[in-house]
Structure 1
Amino acid sequence: MQRRSRGINIGLILLLSQIFHVGINNIPPVTLATLALNTWLFLNPVKPLFDSCISVEKCYQQKDWQRLLLSPFHHADDWHLYFNMASMLWKGINLERRLGSRWFAYIIATFSLLTGVVYLLLESSLAAFLDEPDFRRTCAVGFSGVLFALKVLNNHYCPGCFVNILGLPVPNRYACWVELVAIHFFTPGTSFAGHLAGILVGLMYTQGPLKKIMETCAGIFSSDIGYPRQQYYFNNSGSSGYQDHYPRGRPGHYEEAPRNYDAYTAGLSEEEQLERALRASLWDQGRT
């Protein structure tokens, strides 16, 4: 696996443009630090992609466990970085303001590690169940697994809402699953297991014991980590700021999105950015 070269990094330029359009002072610190870390490692990777990606063969069989830390923060090319970080910008602003910076940093660190662990378990199980050793050699890289986990968390705070995916209104509780299938269908080169791992980690936090475990660990190791708290940024219905959300399950009745939404999404909802990503990926595949 090697980074694809495009000459001028248009995706990186678009990402920096969005960041400066929003204003660095308007981006919460942990979100900004995550964007900066991913961008820095794209420009100055710790290791080549082949030595940073995560697979059962490399991590478990060859005991190269540092890949669990490296793989989420390395990207294949500038467009991979752009679409992941544009999504992170939107999710980070919403979730960090709701949960607080310390807890959000705790979530990012935990999700980054756990998505890799769950990915290894999924690939190992598929290899054993289907008797196909290639699953153990499949190597994945990128932040999208963490983003799927954050998407589950963000949708959890907006019950009863709908999102527009590829022109269809989808209830929040099913949105991640629909996007998982849509991305896999339109861009088969993406890591289905990596995205699925992110969804499972998100469900472990919202529906399972992960949140309780994290709170317990935070209480044991530090009394300074703040616990999740409500913020004025969200209205009473729990809307998380999707441009195409239908509050309280009523398509056709829109809630007002935050006024600075267009500033950091270039006027596109997250689902419209997904459609653009799918088209760009298909165009790239046609070129190759």
Structure 2
Amino acid sequence: MSLQRPNGNSSSSSSHKKHKTEESDEELLMVPDMEAAGSTCVLSSSADDGVNNPELDQTQNGVSTAKRRRGRNPVDKEYRSLKRLLRNRVSAQQARERKKVYVSDLESRANELQNNNDQLEEKISTLTNENTMLQRSEEKNNYEEMENFGEGRRSGGGMLPLLALSAVAEYYRLPWKPPVTASLLAANTLVYLRPAFIDPVIPHISEVWFNPHLIFKHKDLKRLFLSAFYHVNEPHLVYNMMSLLWKGIKLETSMGSSEFASMVFTLIGMSQGVTLLLGKSLLLLFDYDRAYYNEYAVGFSGVLFAMKVVLNSQAEDYSSVYGILVPTKYAAWAELILVQMFVPNASFLGHLGGILAGIIYLKLKGSYSGSDPVTMAVRGVSRLVTWPLRFLNGMVRSRRRRITGRGRVGRGQTGIAGPGIWRCQSCTYDNSGWLSACEMCGSGRARGNGWSLNQGPALSSSNDLPFG
């Protein structure tokens, strides 16, 4: 009996090992359904046990859930990855299709904008051409209008001889002939007549019209300076030259030729420059360009207005301007308004620029004592040019004194060489009536030696000088 028990146990143990081996093979074959098998096994074991314990149920449910999460087989994983890959491919394909549609839409819009741009460029080109043609037409009309205005050059004959007669008569009665005024009269007249020997040299009037737009656009300085010496017809020239004859003689007689020439050159540049700045300022500040910034003008009248301001700066009496009695000091302003009323073609901005230039010149002259560099240069050139004449004139005077023997000794030392010029008692040098000391030796001016601006009594002191 005792020998049979171990045999029974050994046989039962070997059968049990065989059964476990067979179960392990089945489990290996059931790997894809591992999740379902595990859950079934758990449920069957629970049912066989017959225990209705809630805690045990919750524990079994948690274990089964964890097993399901861990027990995903490779097939499911590969299926899900393939499904995701397919979904991504579909999404990418749809995105490419949408992108193609969007790009196509953009291309169509770009083509449409390009067509619109081409049409706008054509319109701009057409408008630019039309604008250029209109500007040329306007310039041509302005030029033709000025040429028509200048018909007096051909039909107004007889006024130039009147100017020549007036100039000859005025110079004939003067003991001292102002050379700078005569040179300005001759220069303006020759530029207008254009004789054959200077016609190839001087530019045509169409090339020198004073126009702020063209001066700024092309940096054309010849329009800035040469336009003052051009006139459109004989009445224009004669009226300005008659005014220059009267003003020039009075100013040059009182100031001296060198200082007068310096003042004229300075006033030409200042009047033209102020007019240019006024036209540009009206354009920038008020966008007002039709009347002044594109205006064409020529003539010496702007400089004449500046000379009038200088001439009347120290006057205290009254003058008649076109029949209206006004203070002489403000006669230029009254003439500015009246000329614009009676002569609409006159350049209001040019005349106003001349008046402002004269005022600026007086302010600068009053703040600076002594001769300016331009005056010194002009005086040096005039001395060099007129030295032979002065030398011959001195010899003739000396010979006359020795031959005739008439007159008092020292008479020439205290006399005056001409209106507005006083002679130094120390060195007998002729000085301008504006100076209170001799330029040559520095001696003071004697009381009563010289003439005032109106050729009246002698200046009593340097405080009475017009520029003092």
TM-score by length of 2: 0.47
Who is 1:247 aligned against?
A: none
Q: CA deviation at 1:58?
A: 1.6
Q: 1:137 aligns with which of 289, 294, 297?
A: 294
1:144-183 map, 5 Å: 144-158=301-315, 160-183=316-339
Residue 5 (structure 1) aligned with residue 144 (structure 2):
no
- Quick one: distance in 2 between partners of 1:120 and 1:132? 14
Change (3 A) 1:214 1:183: farther
* Secondary structure, counterpart of 2:221 in structure 1: coil
Partner amino acid, structure 1, of 2:183: A
Change (3 A) 1:228 1:237: closer
Residue 43 (structure 1) aligned with residue 193 (structure 2):
yes
Partner amino acid, structure 1, of 2:303: V
Q: 1:87 aligns with which of 233, 243, 260?
A: 243
Range with greater deviation from structure 2 (178-187 or 42-51): 42-51
* Secondary structure, counterpart of 1:94 in structure 2: helix
Who is 2:183 aligned against?
A: 33
| Structure 1: gaps spanning 5 or more residues | 239-288
Q: CA deviation at 1:207?
A: 2.9
Contact kept? 1:148, 1:195, Cα under 8 Å: yes
- Quick one: distance in 2 between partners of 1:54 and 1:79? 19
- May I ask how many residue pairs the two structures share in their alignment? 237
CA distances 1:132-151 after superposition (whole Å, capped 9, x unpaired): 23232112100000000000
Change (3 A) 1:222 1:21: closer
Q: CA deviation at 1:227?
A: 6.5
Who is 2:25 aligned against?
A: none
Q: 1:187 aligns with which of 303, 321, 343?
A: 343
Change (3 A) 1:213 1:184: farther
CA distances 1:82-115 after superposition (whole Å, capped 9, x unpaired): 0000000001110001000001011111111111
Partner amino acid, structure 2, of 1:22: E
Change (3 A) 1:200 1:211: farther
- Quick one: distance in 1 between partners of 2:369 and 2:268? 16
Q: CA deviation at 1:211?
A: 7.0
Q: CA deviation at 1:208?
A: 4.0
Who is 2:456 aligned against?
A: 235
Q: CA deviation at 1:48?
A: 2.5
* Secondary structure, counterpart of 1:188 in structure 2: coil
Range with greater deviation from structure 2 (46-55 or 229-238): 229-238
Partner amino acid, structure 2, of 1:96: E
CA distances 1:167-225 after superposition (whole Å, capped 9, x unpaired): 22110122111110111111111000100111011101223458739934348868748
Who is 2:224 aligned against?
A: 68
Partner amino acid, structure 1, of 2:434: R
Change (3 A) 1:117 1:179: same
Partner amino acid, structure 2, of 1:55: N
TM-score by length of 1: 0.74
* Secondary structure, counterpart of 2:368 in structure 1: helix
Partner amino acid, structure 2, of 1:153: V
1:121-136 map, 5 Å: 121-134=277-290, 135-136=292-293
| Structure 2: gaps spanning 5 or more residues | 1-142, 382-430, 436-449, 460-468
Q: Which has the higher helix share?
A: 2
Partner amino acid, structure 2, of 1:166: Y
Who is 1:268 aligned against?
A: none
- Quick one: distance in 2 between partners of 1:143 and 1:75? 8
Change (3 A) 1:161 1:106: same
Who is 2:165 aligned against?
A: 17
Contact kept? 1:39, 1:81, Cα under 8 Å: yes
* Secondary structure, counterpart of 1:150 in structure 2: helix
Q: CA deviation at 1:156?
A: 1.2
Range with greater deviation from structure 2 (2-11 or 64-73): 2-11
Change (3 A) 1:94 1:65: same
Change (3 A) 1:222 1:69: closer
- Quick one: distance in 2 between partners of 1:181 and 1:29? 32
CA distances 1:231-282 after superposition (whole Å, capped 9, x unpaired): 52621499xxxxxxxxxxxxxxxxxxxxxxxxxxxxxxxxxxxxxxxxxxxx
* Secondary structure, counterpart of 1:163 in structure 2: strand
